[in-house]
C-alpha cells in the first residue's frame, strides 16, 4: 500500500469487501468447526485427570482398586458411592496427622505469610516510587535480579541458623521465610503499579502539608488496591501450594501443612491409600475457590509483566 486512504474518501465498493476480508480469519465467533472441536477435545483432556480424582474420592476402597474411575463415572447408578473417604481423611492420622488439622495448619501458615509481606512491601514500594534517596536505583536493580534467584540459595544456611535458634518446625520459621522469599516480587508488583499512579495527586497532597505517612495511608494504599489484591492472591496460592519450604522448615509433625500431609499419604502402600483422592481434593479446593473468585485480579497481576523465580 503506497496510497494513504483518508477517512471518508473510500469508494462505497471498498466497504463490504473490507468487512468480508476481516471476518474469516479472526474476530469473535469466526472459529471454524475443526477449531471448535479441537478446543473441545483440549478442554476435555485438561479436565479428565481432575475429574478422575474427584470421582475416585467418592468410591469405596475396594471399588477404587478393582476398577478404573470411569466405570463408576459411566455407570453412576450401578456403582456404590461413599463420603467415608472424606470423613476418614479429615480425622484419621493416616497421613501422619489428620488432613483436617493439616488443612487448618495451611491457613495458619498462609494467611500471615500473605498479609505481613504486603504491608512491608507496600511501604518499601512507596519509598522506591515517591522518595528520592541515594542507592535507590541500585537497590531496585538488585531486587529485579533477585526475582529470578531460586529460594534454594537460602536453605542451607537457614536450616543451620534455624537449628541453632530452635526455630525449625515452628510457624514463625515458615512465616519469616515466606516473607523474605516473597518480598522481591511484592515490591516489584507494587512499585510498577504505584509508578503508574497520577503524580499530580501526590504533589498536591505534599503541598497541602501531608506527611509521607499520611499520603501513604490515605492516598497510595487505597489507590493501589488492585495491585495489592493481585500480589495477595499470588502469595497466598504460592504459600498454600508450596511443598519445599514447608518440608524443610516445618517437616512432619503437629504443624504439618496439607501439601506435606498429602505427599506423605502418597507414600502409603497399604491402609490409607484409598484416602489419597479425597485428601487431594481437600488440599486443592481452597486455591481453586480463591482462584475462581478472584481470577480478575490474578490475571491483572500476571499481565503486569512480573516474573517470579
- Candidate residues 41, 119, 165, 271; the one interacting with other proteins per rule CB under 8 A: 119
Residues 202-241 touching other proteins, rule: CB under 8 A, are 211-213, 216, 237, 240-241
Stretch that binds other proteins, among 82-90, 155-163, 202-210, 223-231 (CB under 8 A): 155-163
Q: Which is nearer to other proteins, 227 or 284 (CB)?
A: 284
Residues 241-270 touching other proteins, rule: CB under 8 A, are 241-244, 247-248, 259, 262-263, 266
- Candidate residues 155, 170, 219, 229; the one interacting with other proteins per rule CB under 8 A: 155
Q: Does 277 bind other proteins (CB under 8 A)?
A: yes
Stretch that binds other proteins, among 78-86, 88-96, 141-149, 198-206 (CB under 8 A): 141-149
Alpha helices in 58-195 (DSSP H): 61-66, 69-74, 84-91, 99-130, 136-146, 155-165, 171-194
The Cα 279–Cα 274 span in angstroms is: 9
Q: How far is the CB of 40 from other proteins (least distance, A)?
A: 8
The Cα 17–Cα 23 span in angstroms is: 10
Q: How far is the CB of 256 from other proteins (least distance, A)?
A: 12
- Candidate residues 41, 75, 80, 136; the one interacting with other proteins per rule CB under 8 A: 136
Stretch that binds other proteins, among 75-83, 88-96, 149-157, 202-210 (CB under 8 A): 149-157
For residue 301, CA distances in Å to 35, 225, 253, 294, 307 come to 29, 12, 35, 11, 10
The helix, strand and coil proportions of the chain, stated in percent and rounded to the nearest 5, come to 75, 0, 25
Stretch that binds other proteins, among 81-89, 104-112, 197-205, 219-227 (CB under 8 A): 104-112
Q: Does 128 bind other proteins (CB under 8 A)?
A: yes
The Cα 219–Cα 208 span in angstroms is: 13
User: Which has the closest alpha carbon to 236: 101, 104, 113?
Assistant: 113
C-alpha cell belonging to residue 155: 536453605
**In sequence order, which residues have a C-beta less than 8 Å from that of residue 33 and are 6 or more positions away?**
none
Stretch that binds other proteins, among 82-90, 177-185, 199-207, 222-230 (CB under 8 A): 177-185
Residues 76-95 touching other proteins, rule: CB under 8 A, are none
The Cα 181–Cα 119 span in angstroms is: 15
Stretch that binds other proteins, among 84-92, 182-190, 202-210, 218-226 (CB under 8 A): 182-190
Q: How far is the CB of 208 from other proteins (least distance, A)?
A: 16
Alpha-carbon torsion (57, 58, 62, 65), positive or negative = negative
Do 147 and 191 meet the contact criterion of CB atoms below 8 Å apart? no
Q: Which is nearer to other proteins, 30 or 204 (CB)?
A: 30
For residue 136, CA distances in Å to 127, 187, 249, 268 come to 9, 13, 33, 52
Residues 16-75 touching other proteins, rule: CB under 8 A, are 18, 21-22, 25-31, 35-36, 38-39, 42-43, 46-50, 52-53, 56, 64-70
Amino acid at each position: 500500500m503506497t496510497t494513504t486512504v483518508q477517512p471518508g474518501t473510500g469508494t462505497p465498493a471498498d466497504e463490504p469487501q473490507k468487512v468480508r476480508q476481516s471476518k474469516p480469519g479472526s474476530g469473535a465467533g469466526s472459529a471454524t468447526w475443526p477449531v471448535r472441536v479441537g478446543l473441545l477435545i483440549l478442554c476435555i483432556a485438561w479436565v479428565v485427570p481432575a475429574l478422575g480424582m474427584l470421582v475416585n474420592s467418592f468410591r469405596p476402597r475396594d471399588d477404587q482398586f478393582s476398577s478404573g474411575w470411569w466405570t463408576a463415572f459411566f455407570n453412576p447408578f450401578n456403582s456404590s458411592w461413599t463420603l467415608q473417604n472424606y470423613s476418614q481423611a479429615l480425622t484419621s492420622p493416616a497421613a501422619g496427622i489428620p488432613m483436617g488439622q493439616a488443612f487448618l495448619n495451611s491457613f495458619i501458615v498462609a494467611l500471615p505469610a500473605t498479609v505481613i509481606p504486603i504491608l512491608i512491601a507496600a511501604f518499601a514500594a512507596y519509598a522506591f516510587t515517591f522518595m528520592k534517596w541515594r542507592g535507590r536505583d541500585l537497590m531496585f536493580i538488585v531486587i529485579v535480579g533477585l526475582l529470578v534467584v531460586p529460594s534454594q540459595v537460602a536453605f542451607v544456611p537457614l536450616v543451620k541458623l534455624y537449628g541453632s535458634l530452635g526455630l525449625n518446625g515452628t510457624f514463625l520459621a515458615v512465616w519469616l521465610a515466606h516473607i523474605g522469599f516473597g518480598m522481591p516480587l511484592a515490591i516489584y508488583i507494587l512499585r510498577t503499579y504505584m509508578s503508574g499512579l497520577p503524580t499530580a495527586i501526590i504533589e498536591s497532597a505534599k503541598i497541602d502539608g501531608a506527611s509521607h505517612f499520611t499520603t501513604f495511608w490515605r492516598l497510595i494504599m487505597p489507590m493501589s488496591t488492585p495491585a495489592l489484591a493481585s500480589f495477595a492472591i499470588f502469595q497466598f496460592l504460592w504459600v498454600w501450594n508450596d511443598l519445599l519450604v514447608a518440608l524443610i522448615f516445618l517437616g512432619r509433625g503437629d504443624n504439618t501443612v496439607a501439601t506435606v500431609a498429602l505427599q506423605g499419604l502418597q507414600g502409603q502402600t497399604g491402609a490409607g491409600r484409598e484416602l489419597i483422592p479425597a485428601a487431594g481434593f481437600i488440599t486443592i479446593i481452597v486455591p481453586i475457590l480463591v482462584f475462581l473468585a478472584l481470577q480478575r485480579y490474578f490475571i491483572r497481576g500476571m499481565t503486569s509483566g512480573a516474573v517470579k523465580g
